[in-house]
Amino acid sequence: MARVPVDEILIAGRWRRGGGAPIETVNPADGTPITTVHAASPADVDEAARAAAEAAAAPAWRDLLPHRRARVLYRIGDLIEERADELAALQTADTGKTLTETRALAASAAGTFRYTAAALETAEDSLTPARGPYVTMSVYEPIGVVGAINPWNSPIASDAQKAAPALAGGNAVLLKPAEWTPLVSLAFGRLVHRVLAEEGLPTALLSVLPGRGGVVGDAIVTHPLVRRIGFTGGTATGRAIARAAAGRLVPVSLELGGKSPTIVREDADLEQALAGVMFGIFSSSGQSCVAGSRLFVHRSRYDSFLGELVARVRGLRVGSGTDPDTQVAPLVHHRHRDAVAGYVDLARAEGGRVLCGGAAPHGEAYAAGAYYLPTVIDGLPNSARACQEEIFGPVLVALPYDDEDDLVRQAEDSVYGLACGIWTRDARAAWRLARRIDAGTVWINTYKQFSISTPFGGMKDSGLGTEKGRDLIRSYQRQKSLYWGTDTTPLPWAH
């Protein structure tokens, strides 16, 4: 059973009820309310930003040596790990995801803090080649207050991916979780707050400010003290945030949507491809930015592959995230389930054949939840909206291709460029395809594997900038160049 946070949010280092509207959080497995959390108000955001600016400038934080700051991050990672079961249970209640997945997300968050701590301890400033009588250095400094805005699909992992490098970089963070899923971010805030307090550091270094994007998110993005924005979410929102940031000349990183092609070549290993395609789209109930939601199969194997795929998809176990047998859990919210269903109706209207799924499951156990059956659709042209737009649910559209040029043309006919999956036994073909397709991440004979040590980002409308990787802290810092004169004689110009 998840321990439900009380109705308090973390503003400027203190826990109190938010000044904004009440948000009722609902368990999408059965539609029951979990709790009510009052959102932050714009005045709360202002208070948090001012306190964050002070905290970031406080010598106790700003002058903390990297190995000491790393210790703080290690401690946060350890606490997340100690509380992983509790965090996972809370996230499952709030998002509907399976416990297996939410445990993995909590473990990933702990790993992110540890990796970031190690990167911080070993990061080096550089001595650059001098071109005169001076020594030149390039050093990195904190930016100040960072806004971190996240979607609802993997809260604790995305919280860690922004908060860990931002704190490591010496900044303070204003974290806004999605309105539908504030609970695990608040629980994460408790852990960070505790470590900061125990270490005698300013607790205003992290505020957790739930609420509507157009209110709380906007107040963060437009606040004059916020000097860097990290955003994960939909492309339309990302664009609006980028526009606001451009007006203020504030750097922004955007991790956005996708409609990723997953490719089954004629020489693919059948079992591996079937398992990979199903995992790629139906795990997380398709609510994954990198979901392999457009399947391309070589025409010579199209019918047989699809027949076998559909038979297996029909056998996927749909159920509550707390049931250890569940493979496809409910969607995050009833409203989102209805939006997904709307896309399937649209695909039907556009002439698509729904080969399986295409409805909410029947039965008492599903009646009150936000469930939707895993769905496979074919018979649509790649130009159909269901093939072009991100559905963000358990819906796969399948298309045949004739040869590699036809495949690349279709796969590339998308505004997105987040990920791509290639199933083949031909290493040369995999290499060619991987280099031809615009995608920030390409998986070859695997899918949806993630490593904090490997940079992640999108191309085209899927994003700007990267997260993760060895340089993850640098994007939350400013670079400064120092020239140290080594000559004792005055500069010649003045003579």
Nearer to ligand NAP, 116 or 154 (CB): 154
Is residue 237 part of the contact set for ligand NAP (CB under 6 A)?
yes
Beta-bridge partners for 38: 22
Residue 13 contacts by C-beta under 8 Å, 6 or more apart in sequence?
51, 55, 193, 196, 202, 203, 204, 205, 207
- Angle, CA of 216, 218 and 219, to the nearest 5°: 65
Is residue 477 within 8 Å of residue 143, measured between CB atoms?
A: yes
**DSSP letter assigned to residue 214:** I
Q: Which stretch binds ligand NAP (CB under 6 A): 2-10, 53-61, 109-117, 227-235?
A: 227-235
- Minimum distance from residue 290 beta carbon to ligand NAP (Å): 7
What's the CA gap between 371 and 364, in Å, rounded?
12
Residue 299 contacts by C-beta under 8 Å, 6 or more apart in sequence?
400, 401, 402
Sole binder of ligand NAP in the list 53, 463, 472, 476 (CB under 6 A): 463
> Which of 47, 101, 179, 255 is an active site residue?
255
Nearer to ligand NAP, 157 or 273 (CB): 157
Nearer to ligand NAP, 237 or 424 (CB): 237
Buried b (16+ CB within 10 A) or exposed e, 286-299: bbbbbbbbbbbbbe
147 sits in which H/E element: strand 145-149
Q: Kindly give the interhelix angle for 155-168 and 99-122, rounded to the nearest 10 degrees.
A: 10
Is residue 189 part of the contact set for ligand NAP (CB under 6 A)?
no
- Minimum distance from residue 254 beta carbon to ligand NAP (Å): 8
Is residue 134 within 8 Å of residue 471, measured between CB atoms?
A: no
Sole binder of ligand NAP in the list 18, 96, 202, 213 (CB under 6 A): 213
Is residue 461 part of the contact set for ligand NAP (CB under 6 A)?
no
Is residue 184 part of the contact set for ligand NAP (CB under 6 A)?
no
- Minimum distance from residue 132 beta carbon to ligand NAP (Å): 44
Footprint (CB under 6 A) of ligand NAP, residues 360-399: 390, 392
Nearer to ligand NAP, 98 or 185 (CB): 185
Is residue 258 part of the contact set for ligand NAP (CB under 6 A)?
yes
Sole binder of ligand NAP in the list 23, 149, 172, 472 (CB under 6 A): 149
Backbone phi, then psi, for 273, in 5-degree steps?
A: -65, -40
Is residue 101 part of the contact set for ligand NAP (CB under 6 A)?
no
Q: Which stretch binds ligand NAP (CB under 6 A): 32-40, 133-141, 256-264, 482-490?
A: 256-264
Is residue 233 within 8 Å of residue 151, measured between CB atoms?
A: yes
Q: Which stretch binds ligand NAP (CB under 6 A): 231-239, 347-355, 370-378, 400-408?
A: 231-239
Q: Is 255 a catalytic residue?
A: yes
What's the CA gap between 255 and 158, in Å, rounded?
10
Beta-bridge partners for 228: 146
Residues found near ligand NAP in the complex (CB under 6 A) = 149-153, 176, 178-179, 212-214, 217-218, 221, 232-234, 237, 240-241, 255-258, 289, 390, 392, 418, 458, 463
Active site positions, annotated: 255
